[in-house]
Structure 1
Amino acid sequence: MIVTYNWLKEFVDCDLAPEELSHLLTMLGLEVERMETIGGGMDDVVVAQVLERNQHPNADKLSLCKVDSGKEILSIVCGAQNFKAGDKVALAQIGATLPGDFKIKRSKIRGEESFGMLCSERELALSDESSGIMILPEDFQVGTPLFDALGTKDTVFEIGLTPNRADCLSVVGVAREIAAKLGKKVHYPGHEVQEKGAAIETIASVAINAPDLCPRYTARHITGCKLAPSPAWMVERLNAAGIRSINNIVDVTNYVLLEYGHPLHAFDFKLVAGGKIVVAAAGEGETFTTLDGQERKLTASDLTIRDGEKAVALAGIMGGGNSEIGDGTTEVLLESAYFNPSAVRKTSKRLGIHTESSHRFERGTDVAGLVRALDRAAQLIAELSGGVVAKGMIDAYPQPIEPRVITARLSRINLVCGLSLSAAAVKDIFERLEFEIIEEKDDVFKVRVPLFRVDLEREIDLVEEVVRLNGFEKVQATLPTASVFSDLPSDEQRLTSRIKDLLVSQGFSEVINYSFVAPASCEKVLLPEDDFRVKGVKLLNPLSDELSVMRTTLLPGLLDTAVKNISFRTLNLRIFEMRRVYLPVPEQDLLDEPLYVGALLTGNREAEGWNQAKGEIDFFDVKGILENLLADLNVPGVSYSTDNLDPYFHPGKACQVKIGNRVLGSLGELHPTVQENYGIATPVYYLELNFQALVNARKPKGSAQVPSRFPSTFRDIAMLLPLEVAAEEVVRCVKGVKAPELEGVEIFDLYTGGNIPQGQKSLAIRVRYGSKERTLTDDEVTRLHQRVVDGLQKKLNVSFR
């Protein structure tokens, strides 16, 4: 919000210097972000009088003038043609700095010396346009600084308001705060409207078809208007606030908006069909062209102002080009209304329109003060355009809004403030803020809050008002009391950190993606329509269409991250995410939110280098990463199955991770179609684990075992078996021989093709035998080894090579 020092002083008697006033506003919670002096540092621009104007001897379009600066007679070269000898003009003397950091120096122009510059309004930033130098009134005294003579020297304050302080989006609102702090009264501008025309009811009518979106609508009619430029004082104040002057009628609506903080709109009444105003929702798909020339497509949730035939304005946002004030306007219908903040905010956001009007309506305006703003604007329009105001006004107010009544306890105020204020002091603060005390009993106040304070809803809000007006600086600093205790992480928290550390130690980087995904993400990872994960929860107010559904799997987010990295030529990726997914539960409102670990790999196994073998990541790299993780977490008894794989995995290159019938997760290469959907050319591998299943599968770590002092013996077995028999079954069969001397088994060779019969594979295992009590004899090992061989032949029907 931008206000000026002189404008504020019209509403409140304040003898504070601008710097002191800036500090006062900031301490009231209205932080002054910028303070600028209009005409400051320009005292070298003075009122001067042209004594002589002669033709420049060396230039046809230049004049050589003798100018009285009040101190001396100066020779000035000037190119303007709109002045004569005897005129009083604005002279920028040598050393002056004009707006735009333009410094005036002694110069020689076409052979003649010039000791200053005669200025135009544009060069002094007093106007956007000028046709020549500035001609001043004859009664101005020569030698007086120009801005002192004009009375336009002022200070501009730019206040950074928090969204809840809608009441201070006006000069009156800021003045009201100053008056409350200084204990003074606000001088509201006079607005006695001279009504001379016919009764307004015979001219126009107003109907509100959506009272929930527009509780109140008022209007006045002015005829006999004549469009003209606005007076200088109004233009200067609008310019100071960053608003461009248009004409005397439109400028009045902007001026009163700044003054009272209540938006108004002026219609060319001749363009309002039937003289009717109807406040109603737009038709679904209706198009409407706003004042900026843009055609807008409306929905049934958009509130419009309509005449007897069509929409003429977007309520609270912008008027329409079909009813705007133009050169031929002579009759004006002036609107002052209150619109529902959420309705204005919704339409403004959807259409991407932000105006001074919508900015205020979105935050809440004063429904009780809109008549005052209407009368003020009607009075000014009549004065500046020569118009006549019709008798009476239309005030459609079907459901009056009552002010809030809030109870405040003195004990609570002092407890929160850390002060010892008396009831009289608190009462005085409330009255200075224009609050009405309707009851005071046992140091408990019942306060009726004025409607312009839309931000006050609870007792704590009144406590804040007391602190603000009493002075934040009077609140003593105290140290809070707190109990110190140790909050050790839970087992699950430690396990979470441990899993992340293990993955990072194997070259992974953690990523954190949004919990929201695009609706098409499930389709891109090939989940069928009947999969429960496709029915993700949709957000009511999404950030965008691409982030509108709660994720049911980590895979789409990791793939999106991989695509972004690959686009920046980071081709060797190991990334993981440990986050929750949001799964719908049939016939329940609450979601299941399990924690999952998702890891994605693509590219080469090692970074490229002369001393590294080049090879792409494969299935066994991912399986090895999983085995390291399970071993560290002490999750024994894991098996792998190719049943019930998710459709986003490559058939034959993926598996489930299980303990008994419980599924821990899955791993493998992603389906080529998934990779194609994401535009990834190289194979991508994915590992997914259910965190809670890992927690449940962990076993307590036992004590360390002392290694045997006696040597072990190794026996190898090479066998032929059908391709469909998993190597894991062979290992399980060997371990099924219950003997303490059987210390371990491992697979060291797998071969197919060549001389191996079709449909079979060659598998070689190495069995380790040993004892902690003695060295086993050859006969003992042979007998035990024969039991292993017999078991394999009997259970798996293998043949030995």
Structure 2
Amino acid sequence: MIVTTNWLREFVDFDGDAADLAHRLTMAGLEVESVDHIGQDLDSVIVARLITVDRHPDADRLTVCRVDTGSEELQIVCGATNHRAGDLVALAQVGSVLPGNFKIKKSKIRGQVSMGMLCSEKELGLSEEASGIMILPEGLEPGRPVFEALGLKDTRLEIGLTPNRPDCLSVIGVAREVAALYGRKLKFPSVSVVEQGPDIGGETSVTIEEPEHCPRYMARLIRGAKIGPSPQWLVRRLESVGLRSVNNVVDITNLVMLELGQPMHAFDFNLLRGGRIVVRRAEEGSRFTTLDGQERLLKGTDLVICDGEGPVALAGIMGGENSEIREETTDILLESAYFRPTTVRRTSKRLGIHTESSHRFERGTDIEMVPVALDRAAALVVELAGGIVCRGSIDAYPRPFVPARIDLSSERCRDVLGIDLDTEAIRGHLESIGVATGPAAADGVIACTVPSFRPDLEREIDLVEEVARLAGYDRIPVTMPETRILASRPNPLQNFVRGLRDQMVASGFSEVINYSFISPAAFDQVGLAADDSRRDAIAILNPLTEEQSVMRTTLVPSLLQTVTGNLAYRSLDLRLFELRPVFLRGEGEEHAEPCRLTAVMTGRRSPLGWASDQNAVDFYDLKGVVERVLSAAGVENAVWLADGEEPYLHPGKSARIVVDGELLGTAGEVHPVVQEKYGLEQVVYLFELDVEVLRKHAREGVSFRELSRFPDLFRDTAILVDEEISASRVLEVVKTAIPRFAEDIVLFDLYCGKGVPEGKKSLAFRVRYRSKEGTLTDEEINRVHDKIVRRLEKDLGAQIR
């Protein structure tokens, strides 16, 4: 928003200079981004009268002028043609520096001496365009600085406004802030409309078909106006804030918009078919040509202003070519309305049109300013363009505005700001910006009525902020926040889960985090039976997509989908895990969220490199990872049973993991059918552990035993057993027979083939013996080891190889 200090002073008397004003506005939240002094350092540009104007003897397009500066006569060579003897002009004397760092020097042009330059409005920074030199009004004294003589010395302030302050997109809005900051009264422009024409109700009408998008629409009709150029004061006022003059009527609508913040539009009434206005939605696919000459394709969501047959303006954005003000226009329909910000913003953004009007409507204008702006514009049109105003105005206002009420506690205001403000001071600050306040109640609560021009004030804390900026942020003391520092210790479950995560990372796995929502179709992909309880998933009330419509009851589908995605990007060697809760339905509203550890392995056993193991991972790599996890948790009595029943695991290459008769989890190769459904072209191994069961059987704390200082001895034994006897069964029998000084037992070989009878398999195991009390003899070890062999022969029918 651009304002000038001279314009502001028409609404409020303040005694500060431009620097002080800029500082106060910035400290109050209206950041002044730049300050430009109009006419500063241009006192050397003076009023001069043309004595003679002669053609240049050696140039057809130049003139040689004699000018009177009030103290001397000078010769000036000029290239313009719009001047004649007797005119008052703006003379830049030798030594002047014009905007753009253009220096005026004594010069000789085509043999004629020129002692300065006759200036145009553009060269003085007063206009963006100029067709000749600036002709000054009569009555000015030659020799006086031009800016001083014309009253053009001014200061332009550019204010960077945040979107929540649409009230300051007008001179009166900024003036209201200035009045509050300087403790002065705000002066409104006097409006007096002389109505002499026929009653407007018999001339035209306004119909609002979309009151939700256009809550208020007003109109006045002026007949017999004359379109022409605007007076210089109006042209300069608009140009001082960056707007170009068009004609007297259009300039008036722009002036009122800048002055009061209410965008307006003027229609040529004789071009309105049917002589009436209808506010409605556009017809889908219709076309409309706006004032900029562009044809716009409209949608059914666009709000348009129509006459009796079709659109004549895009509501709140831009008028149409078919009703614009022209030189021959005599009858004018003035529009002043309020449009919903979202309605204007949607159409403006879609069409890529951003105007001064849409900029204000998009942020929210003042619905109560509509009649004030309309009367102000009508009075100015009569003053500058003539004509007769029809009696009355049309005010289509189906649902009048009801101001919001907010209660502000003066005690809370003081607590939030940390400064001692009495209740009357708080009321004074709010009253200064137009917030009406009632007397404070006994408890210090102030009933506040929010004005229509402040749509950003919605809560009590908004009013507190207003008090803060008006009282002065510099009054708020600098204090360190008071708080208590609480030591946060993770609970035992969090520590346990963290340990599992560290163990998986240490084993070379990367953690993934998938959505807790999955598709019901995922249960079919992993082959869950129709009566599987995991199919009874908890549905989401408002799912974004069908692919995320239920809470997951297992981590397997999401993890396999992650594997699919990685393989698609040629990431072939994967070790991934997810340690997250699943969601199981319970009775009533009591649902369970048990934690699961699920991991997958696929690809090569070692990364590609010199002397690395390029074989693919197998079930035993997966089993080793599980055993490391169980060992780290202190679970030593886990049993692997080769009777896995999970539908997504290969029935012959999977196992259940049981601890003390309780199911801990499953592990194995992913079922070929499931791999095909997921598009997996290489074998994937997977295990899933119930974290709560694992923690239940985990050993608390750390245990250790003293190392023996005596030497150890080994005994290796190979036996033949039936193929259906598992290695774990063999080790279980061995463990029941070994003595207390047997430190370790390892199965190190499995062989089936030549030399082994059909239906049999060879298993080799090694027992490590060491005593803490002394060195063991061969005789002692042989006696114990023979006992182990006999137990195997008796319990399993084993044969020594």
CA offset at residue 393 of structure 1? 1.1
- In structure 2, the residue matched to 1:452 is 453
Distance 1:735 1:582, change over 3 A: closer
Tell me the alpha carbon deviations over residues 691-718 of structure 1, each in whole angstroms, 9 at most, x when there is no partner. Answer: 8888778653431344455525364769
- In structure 1, the residue matched to 2:471 is 470
Letter in 2 for 1:784: I
Distance 1:470 1:607, change over 3 A: same
Does the alignment pair 1:25 with 2:25? yes
Cα contact 2:418–2:477 (8 A) shared by 1: yes
Tell me the alpha carbon deviations over residues 592-640 of structure 1, each in whole angstroms, 9 at most, x when there is no partner. Answer: 999899999999998988x785969967889877776676566775979
The 5-angstrom pairing of residues 670-749 of structure 1 reads 700-707=700-707, 709-711=710-712, 713=714, 715=716, 730-731=727-728, 734-735=731-732, 737-739=734-736
CA distance in 2, matches of 1:720, 1:495: 40
Cα contact 1:734–1:788 (8 A) shared by 2: no
CA distance in 1, matches of 2:583, 2:468: 48
CA offset at residue 461 of structure 1? 3.9
The 5-angstrom pairing of residues 735-774 of structure 1 reads 735=732, 737-739=734-736, 767-770=766-769
Letter in 1 for 2:395: D
Distance 1:665 1:618, change over 3 A: closer
CA distance in 1, matches of 2:475, 2:268: 54
Tell me the alpha carbon deviations over residues 393-416 of structure 1, each in whole angstroms, 9 at most, x when there is no partner. Answer: 111223323223334444444444
The 5-angstrom pairing of residues 590-601 of structure 1 reads none
- In structure 1, the residue matched to 2:200 is 200
CA distance in 2, matches of 1:165, 1:713: 87
CA distance in 2, matches of 1:600, 1:402: 63
Tell me the alpha carbon deviations over residues 433-463 of structure 1, each in whole angstroms, 9 at most, x when there is no partner. Answer: 4444444553554343333233334444444
Cα contact 1:220–1:378 (8 A) shared by 2: yes
CA offset at residue 174 of structure 1? 1.7
CA offset at residue 359 of structure 1? 4.1
The 5-angstrom pairing of residues 121-136 of structure 1 reads 121-136=121-136
CA distance in 2, matches of 1:563, 1:121: 71
CA offset at residue 344 of structure 1? 4.7
- In structure 1, the residue matched to 2:223 is 223
Distance 1:416 1:793, change over 3 A: same
Cα contact 1:417–1:475 (8 A) shared by 2: yes
- In structure 2, the residue matched to 1:780 is 784
Letter in 2 for 1:182: Y
CA offset at residue 192 of structure 1? 1.7
Distance 1:432 1:615, change over 3 A: same
Cα contact 1:537–1:584 (8 A) shared by 2: no
Distance 1:644 1:371, change over 3 A: farther
CA distance in 1, matches of 2:791, 2:375: 108
Secondary structure, counterpart of 2:367 in structure 1 = coil
Between stretches 104-113 and 372-381, larger displacement belongs to 104-113
Distance 1:297 1:619, change over 3 A: farther
TM-score normalised to the size of structure 2? 0.74
Distance 1:756 1:520, change over 3 A: farther
CA distance in 2, matches of 1:94, 1:617: 92
- In structure 1, the residue matched to 2:487 is 486
Tell me the alpha carbon deviations over residues 6-62 of structure 1, each in whole angstroms, 9 at most, x when there is no partner. Answer: 211111111210111112222333232333333445445444566676777876655
Distance 1:779 1:563, change over 3 A: closer
Cα contact 1:573–1:602 (8 A) shared by 2: yes
Secondary structure, counterpart of 1:368 in structure 2 = helix
- In structure 2, the residue matched to 1:151 is 151
Secondary structure, counterpart of 2:368 in structure 1 = coil
CA distance in 1, matches of 2:123, 2:683: 67
Between stretches 390-399 and 313-322, larger displacement belongs to 313-322
Which runs of 5 or more residues in structure 2 are unaligned? none
- In structure 1, the residue matched to 2:6 is 6
CA distance in 1, matches of 2:481, 2:559: 46
CA distance in 1, matches of 2:75, 2:371: 57
Between stretches 195-204 and 650-659, larger displacement belongs to 650-659
- In structure 1, the residue matched to 2:167 is 167
Distance 1:357 1:502, change over 3 A: farther
Percentage of matched positions with identical amino acids: 42
Cα contact 2:12–2:179 (8 A) shared by 1: yes
Distance 1:73 1:771, change over 3 A: farther
Letter in 1 for 2:221: H
CA distance in 1, matches of 2:106, 2:560: 71
- In structure 2, the residue matched to 1:252 is 252
CA distance in 2, matches of 1:547, 1:140: 81
CA offset at residue 180 of structure 1? 2.7
Cα contact 1:49–1:69 (8 A) shared by 2: yes
Distance 1:412 1:56, change over 3 A: same
Cα contact 2:280–2:304 (8 A) shared by 1: yes
The 5-angstrom pairing of residues 311-460 of structure 1 reads 311-319=311-319, 323-325=323-325, 329-344=329-344, 355-442=355-442, 443-460=444-461
Cα contact 2:303–2:343 (8 A) shared by 1: yes
Cα contact 2:748–2:766 (8 A) shared by 1: no
Distance 1:527 1:766, change over 3 A: closer
CA distance in 2, matches of 1:37, 1:511: 62
- In structure 1, the residue matched to 2:16 is 16
Cα contact 1:558–1:577 (8 A) shared by 2: no
Secondary structure, counterpart of 1:222 in structure 2 = strand
Between stretches 582-591 and 470-479, larger displacement belongs to 582-591
The 5-angstrom pairing of residues 494-509 of structure 1 reads 494=495
CA distance in 2, matches of 1:99, 1:616: 80
CA distance in 2, matches of 1:667, 1:264: 75
Secondary structure, counterpart of 1:164 in structure 2 = coil
Cα contact 2:316–2:339 (8 A) shared by 1: yes
Between stretches 310-319 and 371-380, larger displacement belongs to 310-319
Distance 1:701 1:471, change over 3 A: same
Distance 1:221 1:64, change over 3 A: closer
Secondary structure, counterpart of 1:369 in structure 2 = helix
CA offset at residue 211 of structure 1? 3.7
Secondary structure, counterpart of 2:15 in structure 1 = coil
CA distance in 2, matches of 1:404, 1:476: 32
CA distance in 1, matches of 2:102, 2:771: 97
Letter in 1 for 2:731: V
CA offset at residue 373 of structure 1? 1.6
The 5-angstrom pairing of residues 638-657 of structure 1 reads none
Say how many residue pairs are matched. Answer: 771
Secondary structure, counterpart of 1:196 in structure 2 = strand
CA offset at residue 195 of structure 1? 2.0
Letter in 2 for 1:471: G
CA distance in 2, matches of 1:70, 1:512: 86
CA offset at residue 142 of structure 1? 4.5
Distance 1:644 1:353, change over 3 A: farther
CA distance in 1, matches of 2:506, 2:186: 69
CA offset at residue 3 of structure 1? 2.2
Distance 1:98 1:363, change over 3 A: same
Cα contact 2:91–2:117 (8 A) shared by 1: yes
Secondary structure, counterpart of 2:132 in structure 1 = coil
Distance 1:480 1:107, change over 3 A: same
Letter in 2 for 1:254: N
Between stretches 238-247 and 213-222, larger displacement belongs to 238-247
Between stretches 52-61 and 370-379, larger displacement belongs to 52-61
Distance 1:441 1:296, change over 3 A: same
Secondary structure, counterpart of 1:33 in structure 2 = strand
CA distance in 2, matches of 1:362, 1:438: 32
- In structure 2, the residue matched to 1:295 is 296
Secondary structure, counterpart of 2:217 in structure 1 = strand
CA distance in 1, matches of 2:287, 2:563: 42
